Amino acid sequence: MDQTTASLVVVVTMFLMLGAGVWVALALAGVGFVAMALFTARPVGMVMATNIWGASTSWTLTALPLFIWMGEILFRTRISSDMFKGLAPWTGWLPGRLMHVNVIGCSIFAAVSGSSAATAATIGRMTIPELNRRGYDQMMTLGSLAGAGTLGLLIPPSIIMIVYGVAADVSIARLFIAGVIPGIVLTGLFMAYVGGWSLLNPGRVPPPEPPQSFGEKIRDTGALIPVMLLIAAVLGSIYVGIATPTEAAGIGVLGSLVLALATGTLSWATFRDSLFGAAHTSCMIGFILAGAAFLTVAMGYTGIPRLLAEWITTMQLSPAALLVALTAFFIVMGCFLDGISMVVLTTSVILPMVQQAGIDLLWFGIYIIIVVEMAQITPPVGFNLFVLQAMTGKDIFTIGKASLPFFILMVVMVALLWVFPGMVTWLPSMMIG
């Protein structure tokens, strides 16, 4: 059978397995097995065993469980309430006032979490009751929290950056640093929208809080110092070249344990729960990556990626047109798959096309992470929407409607990345070591 038929069989098999509720990891390995068994003469069992073993024992992956554990520890500390206390005094003068705490709080917690859902859950648990009690608009509260929660994927250290780096063979340290400026710009876009909305709807914003003296503001801001020191230790050690991402993750775990101990929230129960939570998430992601590694090799043997790359070449799509098509494709996929699954399901097929178009894989990594962020707030499968639904009891489509403006801002961010690619590439080029 020709490669067109092979492509059709692979796609149909994938949709059948995912539609039947098969685990993503097993679906990936199963599709690879079918592709190799039907369209190649290679020994499927031996190829599967060697590639899954190789993917599972990659040293690069050791950063993954450590960053996940760091986020799990901090999720169970007093850091969220301390962040609200430290940020609230400085946002009262901005249009939108305390609603900016959602955005700024998510951007700060993203720098020590690495998970979008954990960021939305932690900051939401802190801000939703406070903002509701003060009379802030509930739809804007939910929308800003759902949108800003996705910063957990873009602002390093990011779990999905590690997944992409392993799948695409791109430096994880450079990916981490490349996400800093886009993360700050996207945070600024979210804050600008919140401020603009507040100016256009002054009746839906409560009156300002009683003023505080400068001394009181400084005293409350002291609550931010521990988490800012942890961020500086993790990202700074990578940037100046004194630590690899894995070593920086170890620093982060140690720092988060010290922070939990200092705040009085480290107990045997929280330590055990954080360890179990990290092990559960790490095993799930590792299993998916192992299945994806075998599928990537199977696709190479069938020649499907090469066929797609040649097809793209014959279409003579410009890089911009290719990215528009890929953005639409990922948005549709995001309605049905979570972010990690989207990355590992598509890299084996899409990366050859991207390289054929001359697009830098480091830049493409940040692009794909922003597009995956959109998937976090698109119903019916949007993880941030699930988190907020569980916290508020609101219908998932209501929360999706509230987060629509922030989805549009992410599309704007993709366009800005295309117009100003240096936003991604400049800071990594300045790295030491």
Residue 1 in any domain: the answer is no
Residue 10 in any domain: the answer is no
Report pLDDT for 356: 81
Per-position b or e across 179-207, b if 16+ CB within 10 A of its CB: bbbbbebbbebbbebbbebbeeeeeebee
Contact 206, 135 (CB under 8 A): yes
DSSP single-letter state for residue 222: G
Residue 21 in any domain: the answer is no
Nearest residue to 51 (alpha-carbon basis) of 293, 266, 393, 253: 293
Q: Tell me the per-residue pLDDT of 361-408, one tens digit each, with 9 for 90 and over.
A: 999 999 999 988 888 788 766 778 877 887 788 887 888 899 999 999
Residue 40 in any domain: the answer is no
Residue 6 in any domain: the answer is no
Q: Taking residues 279-300, report their average pLDDT.
A: 79
Which stretch, 106-110, 303-307, 415-419, has highest mean pLDDT? 415-419
Report pLDDT for 86: 78
pLDDT confidence band for 420 (50 / 70 / 90): very high
Residue 2 above 80 pLDDT?
no
Residue range(s) defining the domain that contains residue 369? 47-431
- Give me the number of domains the chain comprises: 1
Report pLDDT for 3: 67
Residue 358 in any domain: the answer is yes
Residue 41 in any domain: the answer is no
Report pLDDT for 140: 92
Residue 290 in any domain: the answer is yes
Q: Tell me the per-residue pLDDT of 61-106, one tens digit each, with 9 for 90 and over.
A: 787 788 878 878 877 777 766 777 777 777 877 888 888 888 988 8
| Higher per-residue confidence, 213 vs 409 | 409
